Amino acid sequence: MPNSVLKGRSTRKTHTQTQTHKHTHKHDSIITVCPVMTGKPLLSFSHHSATSLGPLSRLLSTSTLFFLSSLPHSLSLSPSFSLSLSLSLSLCFSRSPVSVKFIEVDNREMKEKNPWQTPVTIIITVIGVIAIVALVTVAVLQNKPLPQKYKYGIVLDAGSSHTALYIYEWPAEKDNNTGRVEQKHSCKVKGPGISSYASAPVKAGESLRVCMEEAKQWVPGKRHHQTPLYLGATAGMRLLNMENSSASDKVFQAVEGALQKFPFSYQGARILSGQDEGAFGWVTVNYLDERLKQGLETRGALDLGGASTQISFVSDNYDGSESPSNSVTFRLYGNDYNLYTHSFLCYGKDQALRMTQAHQSQAGLATVLDPCFHPGYTATKNYSVLYDSPCVSDRKPKGAPDTFTHIGIGDFLQCQAAVKSVFNFTSCKYSRCSFNGVFQPLLQGPYGAFSAYYFVMNFLNLTDTSVPLEDVKEKLKRYCATNWDQITQQHPGVKLKYLAEYCFSGTYILTLLTEGYNFTSESYSDIKFIEKIKGSDAGWTLGYMLNLTNMIPAEAPDTPPLPHVGYVSIVSVIAVLLFILFIVSLRPLWPRCSKQPQIV
Ligand SMILES: Nc1ccn([C@@H]2O[C@H](COP(=O)(O)OP(=O)(O)OP(=O)(O)O)[C@@H](O)[C@H]2O)c(=O)n1
């Protein structure tokens, strides 16, 4: 019927079935499923110009479209569905969903009978729709979060083996800087740690320049002056300070001079105590894990550096009364923590290697056979270099030649015995000790092991602590027995110094954990070797900055009753419900869409 028009009759259907009217008129076509006094949902597909509708219909159509488009993203409907819904509403509230022609023909007659187009109804409709649209608009716009701005902090970790720069960022608009702090960037300084520049201190300052220039690029220019810059030096500088305090002062002066040339807010350089290093490492791990904020059981921190190693954990049977020097107390987010922490100077991986080799070379011979180095490994080394550290300087054999030939034999069990010799288990004046007469409470809870613990175990493919300890030892035994040529061929990209030492390092780590700290085959699986947590490096630097900037409150901060998204969603849902309620309340005024179509 290409030219026919379907026309509705005003007879009302008494049953509740939904009527479908189909209309084809030149270019206009409408297929509308309109609820006939049933309250069933509207569904329509229409190709119809809104201008061809009545004034109320146009108003409803426009208002509905505006209302739907003002919904937040999470609630928004597709544009086509919104258009359809709005046109359907308008059509149903007009006197006929059928055709323009039909509307025009029927208009006069319906106007007299239908109270729908009375001025009062129109005003109520307009006010209702405007109120709902206003409610949602206010919810979305007025409570809209401001564009995110950040604050920054820079910490330089001046370690014994190298220096690293970390840039942290956190949301600027949070009160008292309580927003979550994340690592934005890190930069590894080229060359050795600053303590190695004792004979040329100026170079210590110069070595930091490249990373500091990088920091200038990473921190937005307008934030430079308010960005705090800290330098913390650890065991390398502790040792230099013990050995030669004026040399350590000169290194610090050079470093300070270099750092003050940059536009950041320089907050000073200092040597961290071993206790600080351990405690701030623990804070970092538990802050990044969000265990502090949520008041959850904390994770112990195991940190292995080049010159010192730290163990820090909370234990139920440690209240600080036994060996108070190992106790650090914190009140964070409303919770009290009594932390056990100890730093073993000289038990970082590089100094422990020196101590082990010092033990092996006590005879002062020209050849030293080393079970901790691979078979086939051979190198000429200098006695004075080996003994040039306060950790071993008093043990230098008298009458030894200048150099010795260092020969690897790759025997894990012998290596383990040599490593054990650097620990003293003979005396303990406390209820229990780790080693060297140092008190240690019973181990408790999960542990995160980072820095060299991770570098070494990751290289050796031994980070999975669910693997039984005996199997780990067996793998390491095979690795140590592998010929040096084969090792270098298998790992062409790895620095030879690191590569040569991984057999020793793995053996040292297992010995330190099991013999030193008393981890058993069972509790070994409580350890997790970690490099980063949620993108931030595990280490003392973040905890240090959080402490100095007071970014962890002692008391739990008040939180708003609802986050922004929750607030907008609730208001939007209420608005939609009001809208539905409003439409339903106008039920007596609903037009009857059940006219029988007639062919004209
Ligand atoms: N891929 C890597 C990188 C580093 N290392 C070793 O890891 C140790 C460095 O650990 P780190 O935490 O950086 O120590 P420092 O800060 O330099 O030392 P400390 O804290 O004792 O001052 C060094 O022994 C280095 O040889 C490694 O074995 N493999």
Question: Which of 406, 417, 579, 570 lies closest to 508, judged by CA?
Answer: 417
CB-based contact 505:542 (threshold 8 Å): no
Question: Which range among 77-81, 147-151, 587-591 shows the weakest confidence by mean pLDDT?
Answer: 77-81
Beta carbon of 451 within 6 Å of any ligand 1 atom: yes
Q: What is the Cα–Cα distance from 54 to 339, expressed in whole angstroms?
A: 76
Over residues 142-164, mean pLDDT:
88
Our answer on whether the CB atom of 159 is closer than 6 Å to any ligand 1 atom is: yes
Per residue, what are the HEC states of 506-569?
HHHHHHHHHHHCCCCCCHHHHEEECCEECCEECCHHHHHHHHHCCCCCCCCCCCCCCCHHHHHH
Average pLDDT, the chain: 83
Q: Tell me whether residue 307 is annotated as binding.
A: yes
C-alpha of residue 308 to centroid of ligand 1, in Å: 10
Task: Ligand 1 pocket test: pick from 155, 157, 160, 461 the residue with the most ligand atoms within 8 Å of its Cβ.
Answer: 160
349-529, CATH topology level = Nucleotidyltransferase; domain 5 (3.30.420)
**Was 414 annotated as part of a binding site?**
no
**Residue 449: strand pairing partners:** 302, 529
Nearest alpha carbon, ligand 1 atom 24: 306
Question: Has 182 been annotated as catalytic?
Answer: no
Q: What is the mean pLDDT of residues 309-313?
A: 98
Please check the confidence at residue 103 and state whether its pLDDT lies above 80: no
CA distance 310 to 347: 9
Listed in sequence order, the residues at least 6 apart from 38 whose beta carbon sits closer than 8 Å to its beta carbon are: 16, 17, 18
Sequence-distant (≥ 6) Cβ neighbours of residue 81 within 8 angstroms: none
CB distance 234 to ligand 1 below 6 Å: yes
DSSP per-residue codes, 136-185: HHIIIIITPPPPP-EEEEEEEEE-SS-EEEEEEEEETTSGGG-SPPEEEE
Which pLDDT score is estimated for 33? 34
Q: What is the pLDDT of residue 146?
A: 64
Per-residue pLDDT at 453: 98
308 lines ligand 1 (CB under 6 A): yes
From the list 195, 222, 197, 224, the residue with the least C-alpha distance to 212 is 224
Instruction: Give the whole-angstrom CA distance, residue 240 versus residue 248.
Output: 6
Distances (CA, A) of 355 to 297, 401, 421, 518: 36, 19, 9, 21
Q: How far apart are CA 469 and CA 524, in angstroms?
A: 7
Confidence at 137, pLDDT banded by 50, 70, 90 = confident
Edge to edge, what strands does the sheet with 28-34 contain? 19-25, 28-34, 43-47
**Confidence tier at 109 by pLDDT (50, 70, 90):** low
ipTM: 0.96
Which of 109, 206, 277, 555 is flagged as catalytic?
Answer: 277
Q: Above 50 in pLDDT, residue 83? A: no
CA distance 419 to 87: 83
> Nearest C-alpha to atom 25 of ligand 1 is from which residue?
306
User: The tokens of 64 are what?
Assistant: 């509905």
Laid out side by side, the sheet with 182-188 consists of 182-188, 163-171, 150-158, 228-233, 265-271
Q: Where are the domains of the chain?
A: 6-142+571-599, 349-529
310 is in an annotated binding site: yes
Residue type, 291: R
Quick one: pLDDT at residue 118? 76
Residue 117 pLDDT grade (very low, low, confident, very high; cuts 50, 70, 90) = low
Please say if the pLDDT value at position 533 is more than 80. Answer: yes
pLDDT above 60 for 9: no
Which atom in ligand 1 lies closest to the alpha carbon of residue 238?
A: 22
Which residues lie below 8 Å from residue 328, measured CB to CB, with a gap of 6+? 275, 278, 279, 312, 338, 339, 341
Amino acid at 303: D
Average pLDDT value for residue range 384-396: 97
Maximum distance among all alpha carbons in the chain?
Answer: 124
The residue behind tokens 């175990």 is: 457
Residue 309 annotated as binding? Answer: yes
pLDDT grade, residue 136 (50/70/90)? confident
Least confident among 30-34, 117-121, 560-564: 30-34
Name the one residue in this structure whose structure tokens are 């994770």.
Answer: 299
**What is d(CA 259, CA 177) in angstroms, rounded to the nearest whole number?**
25
Q: Is the pLDDT of residue 135 over 70?
A: yes
Q: Are 197 and 189 in contact (CB under 8 A)?
A: no
pLDDT of residue 567: 74
Query: In this predicted model, what pLDDT tens digit does every residue of 414-459 receive, in sequence order?
Result: 999 999 999 999 999 999 999 999 999 999 999 999 999 999 999 9
Buried b (16+ CB within 10 A) or exposed e, 143-169: eeeeeeebbbbbbbbbbbbbbbbbbbb
pLDDT of residue 423: 98
pTM of the model: 0.74
Q: Which residues pair with 403 in a beta bridge?
A: 382
Cβ–ligand 1 contact at 307 (below 6 Å):
yes
12 versus 318: the higher-pLDDT residue is: 318
Q: Is 447 exposed, middle or buried (0-12, 13-18, 19+ CB in 10 A)?
A: buried
pLDDT in the model for residue 444:
97
pLDDT for position 140: 78
E-assigned strand segments in 196-291: 228-233, 265-271
Cβ 160 under 6 angstroms from ligand 1: yes
- Please tell me the distance from the alpha carbon of residue 41 to that of residue 38, in angstroms, as a whole number: 9
- What does the pLDDT read at residue 7? 37
Q: Is the confidence at residue 205, as pLDDT, over 90?
A: yes
Q: How confident is the model at residue 174 (pLDDT cuts 50, 70, 90)?
A: confident
The amino acid that residue 314 corresponds to is V
> pLDDT category, 222, cuts 50, 70, 90?
very high
Rg (CA), the chain: 38
Look at ligand 1, atom 15, and give the residue with the nearest C-alpha.
159
Q: Are 373 and 479 in contact (CB under 8 A)?
A: no
